[in-house]
């Protein structure tokens, strides 16, 4: 699968885990040059604390459009070190 935004591939992998309809890519599949840390966090009762990244392509920013549960709760262990996308990032 590929994740792209503004016509640029930002992640690519055949090793995908789908949870709640969201494809999670391995962290190593991300093209790091397009990602920057965000201070935004959220929490999920069964997955744990979520952190976010902004995606920056050609100077345009898609804030908080990538997320990961760095240390998920045991019920969500399969998404450890994996990243999912939203906010206009196309996954195909």
How far is residue 58's CA from residue 8's CA, in Å, rounded to a whole number? 9
Q: Computed over its alpha carbons, how large is the radius of gyration of the chain?
A: 12
Q: Which structural domains are found in the chain, ordered by start?
A: 2-91 (2.170.150.40)
Q: Which two tokens stand for residue 90?
A: 């196309």
**What pLDDT is attached to residue 52?**
98
What pTM was estimated for this model as a whole? Answer: 0.95
**If you average pLDDT over residues 10-23, what whole number do you get?**
97
How far is residue 60's CA from residue 56's CA, in Å, rounded to a whole number? 5
Instruction: Encode pLDDT of 26-84 as tens digits.
Output: 999 999 999 999 999 999 999 999 999 999 999 999 999 999 999 999 999 999 999 99
**What pLDDT is attached to residue 7?**
96
Residue 8's pLDDT band, with cuts at 50, 70 and 90, is very high
Do residues 37 and 56 touch, judged by C-beta distance below 8 A?
A: no
How far is residue 12's CA from residue 8's CA, in Å, rounded to a whole number? 11
Helix, strand, or coil (residue 75): helix
Q: Which two tokens stand for residue 9?
A: 């591939």
């Amino acid at each position: 699968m590929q994740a792209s935004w503004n016509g640029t591939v930002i992640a690519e992998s055949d090793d995908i885990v789908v949870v709640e309809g969201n494809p999670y890519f391995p962290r190593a599949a991300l093209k790091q040059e397009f990602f920057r840390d965000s201070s935004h966090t959220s929490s999920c009762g069964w997955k744990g604390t979520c952190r976010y990244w902004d995606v920056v392509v050609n100077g345009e920013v898609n804030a908080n459009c990538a997320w990961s549960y760095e240390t998920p709760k045991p019920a969500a262990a399969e998404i450890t070190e994996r990243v999912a996308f939203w906010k206009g990032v196309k996954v195909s």
